[in-house]
Amino acid sequence: MSAVTVQTGVLRVLRVVVIVALVVATVVPFVYMLSLSFVRIDDLLREPLRVLPALDRITTETYREVLASEEDGGYGFARFMRNSAIVAVSASALTVALVVPASYALTRLRFAGRSQISWLFLAVYLFPTIIIAVPVFVGFQVLGLGSSLVGLVIAYVALTVPVSVHMLRNYLAGIPESIDEAAVIDGASRFQILTRITVPLAMPTIMSTALFSFMIAWNEFLFALLFLSAKQDLWTVSLGLTRLADGQEVSKTVLMAGSVLLTVPIVILYGVAERALTEGLTAGADKG
Amino acid sequence: MASKLRRHENRDGITLVLPVVLVVAAIIVVPIVWTVVLSFQDARYVDVARNGLFNELTLDNYADVLTAPAFWQALLTTVEYSVATTVGSIGVGLVAALAFRDKFRFRAPLRAVMLLPYVAPVVATTFVWQVALNPQYGVVNAFGTQVLGWEHPVNFLASAPTALLTVIAYDIWRYFPFAFMFLGAALTGLSREIEEAAVVDGATPLQKFWFVVLPQLLPTVALLVLFRMVMAFNEFDDVYLLTGGAAGTQVASVRVFEQLTGSSDIGGASATAAVMAVFLGVALAIYLRLTAKQREAR
């Protein structure tokens, strides 16, 4: 047999093995999460190896307990989810409102300081978030925004803006400038071009930018920890889950239900917009 | 007509960009500058609250940082962790991208599923890993002791070499989709003609990969290495959530966090962060210098 046939044969088998192994490694932790969220804690302690509960032992009590407010003997995840939703929706809306005009200007207009801005946004990533978080926290305390959702939203906008500008700018650079020029000849102003031409054309990418910043804000943990630790009624889902997991008193399967509630909105959004999101993030990667 | 638009170009451009720049400046640039200033001051929270930025300047923090064995240990841990997760996640991502290159049934949905570790909330996935690895009720230890015949459950996240290895494994799991996504896009962009020519000339599949496909992917790989190294070097969430920095996993940003919250030593924490940023900056400069030749060659 020639080297070509041997290698082709081996690689064909190896490819199937790799695909199966990767899919299993990716999916199993999520299956484990979902499954344990329906298990009673004493069943888990008795039989940790039994990942899928027996049908007659399945419980939804975990979800009731984790969602109910403290007064009803629960852990208040319904409120955490509402907080997270408020923060993530506002952060994402504000990010889009800021990023669309900025990316338009960066791709279409020549102005003083244009090239420095790209460097500024890159340099931001050289520093760990933790070192940004502390001065921001102290500054916000002085302004009275320290322990509030408003402060958190502002911080999240700043965190997502650099990447969002990058995504949208790549896309806008691909729209021919001649469209803008045609509109100018028809007497359109800069503002009209932006709102009537650029925004509709870039709508898919704008949506994926919005989704991306929603996800970052929904998943974020460190800022929430520094800003809101002391204020339990303002906790986001991520913060609530870590705080409750630190103690011993809350059962792990109830917290597993909390993890599912934290993950499901992201998975749904991602399912809706997977293609737009990956294309937006990897824009330009194929050009090297 | 177009010149009418050109006339206000500078003014309009600055107006449209200004809000973004202000937000980034206020929330990111000012804090970084503030950090640098604080690193030259012997400041605790009370001093900062009372005097703001105007405390006495000193080099003590830097002297303390550079003479503390724990700092060098944290630096070493950070480097080990960053290199291992970068190489691991890009390696696995590359293998995945190659395996998913040719069409097969369910390719699109499976590819979407493979990105889940990257998009899912880090708090949820670290919690699942913690539970799965727990010595009392975790499925991994139950499987190990009951099926594989381990004598004792392994306390993966609380004892020395396994804690760091587990954190690295978790991060490879979490970040390989990122490399997979980028390398997949790069593979789609390659022209198949050169490869077909190589096959006609009798190249084996491995030769084809090594001499034709891989060289064309190198620019993307180089970019990913840069991204991943910077992100891993500054990583906080994953390590803090999995181990809290215990059992030999104290990376630099966790050390900064502990200096801030544990001993509320703002000056020391700022100096640690500044030294780390300098290290990262130097490493990046060397890396860009080394890869500059290749970039020019293209």
**pLDDT for B66-82, tens place per residue?**
888 888 988 899 999 99
Q: Which of B56-60, B64-68, B80-84, B205-209 has the lowest mean pLDDT?
A: B56-60
Asked if pLDDT for residue B90 goes beyond 60, the answer is: yes
Cβ-contact B127, A245 below 8 angstroms: yes
Q: What is the pLDDT of residue B1?
A: 46
Q: Which residues of A touch B150 (CB under 8 A)?
A: none
A102, A104, A127: residue with CB nearest B32: A127
In chain A, the residue whose alpha carbon lies closest to the alpha carbon of B136 is A45
Cβ-contact A228, A236 below 8 angstroms: yes
Q: How far is A262 from chain B (nearest CA, A)?
A: 7
> For chain B, what percent of residues have pLDDT higher than 90?
21
Cβ-contact A273, A208 below 8 angstroms: yes
Q: What is the pLDDT of residue B129?
A: 94
Among A119, A116, A166, A140, CA closest to B31: A140
Give the whole-angstrom CA distance, residue A287 versus residue B17: 27
Q: Rg of chain A over CA atoms, in angstroms?
A: 24
Among A121, A171, A116, CA closest to B14: A116
CATH number assigned to the domain with residue range A77-287, chosen from the 4 options 2.40.160.20, 3.30.470.20, 3.30.70.890, 1.10.3720.10: 1.10.3720.10
Q: What is the ipTM of this complex?
A: 0.87
How many Cβ atoms are within 10 Å of B51's Cβ, its own excluded? Answer: 12
Q: What is the pLDDT of residue B47?
A: 63
Q: What is the pLDDT of residue B7?
A: 64
Q: What is the pLDDT of residue A286?
A: 46
Cβ-contact A276, A207 below 8 angstroms: yes
Distant-in-sequence, close-in-space partners of B253: CB < 8 Å, separation ≥ 6: A128, A129, A130, B234, B235, B236, B239, B273, B276
Query: With an 8 Å Cβ cutoff, are A128 and B273 in contact?
Result: yes
Query: With an 8 Å Cβ cutoff, are B260 and A121 in contact?
Result: no
**pLDDT for B151-201, tens place per residue?**
888 888 888 888 899 999 999 999 999 999 999 988 888 888 888 888 888
Distant-in-sequence, close-in-space partners of A199: CB < 8 Å, separation ≥ 6: A100, A206
Q: In the predicted model, what is the mean pLDDT of residues B216-232?
A: 88
Tens-binned pLDDT, residue by residue, of chain A (288 aa) = 677 888 888 888 888 999 999 999 999 999 999 988 888 777 777 777 777 777 777 787 888 877 877 777 778 888 899 999 999 999 999 999 999 988 888 888 887 777 777 777 777 777 778 778 778 877 887 788 878 888 889 889 988 888 888 888 888 888 887 887 888 788 778 788 888 888 888 888 888 888 888 988 999 988 898 888 888 888 999 998 888 888 777 888 888 888 999 999 999 888 887 777 777 666 655 443
Length reported for chain A: 288
The residues spanned by each domain of chain B are 69-297
Q: What is the pLDDT of residue B175?
A: 94
Q: What is the pLDDT of residue A197?
A: 81
Q: Supply A92's token pair.
A: 């994402």
Q: Which residues of A touch B204 (CB under 8 A)?
A: 3-4, 7
Burial class of residue B217 (count of CB atoms within 10 Å of its CB; 0-12, 13-18, 19+): buried
Query: With an 8 Å Cβ cutoff, are B189 and A23 in contact?
Result: no
Query: With an 8 Å Cβ cutoff, are B10 and A29 in contact?
Result: no
Query: With an 8 Å Cβ cutoff, are B206 and A7 in contact?
Result: yes
DSSP for A143-159, written as a single string = HT-TTSHHHHHHHHHHH
Asked if pLDDT for residue B226 goes beyond 60, the answer is: yes
Q: What is the pLDDT of residue A95?
A: 92
Give the whole-angstrom CA distance, residue A95 versus residue A216: 11
Cβ-contact B241, B126 below 8 angstroms: yes
Which one of B44, B53, B102, B127 makes the best mutation probe of the A interface by having the most chain A beta carbons within 10 Å?
B127
DSSP state letter for A49? T
Question: Would you identify the CATH topology of the domain B69-297?
Answer: MetI-like fold (1.10.3720)
At CA B88, angle to CA B82 and CA B93, rounded to 5? 125
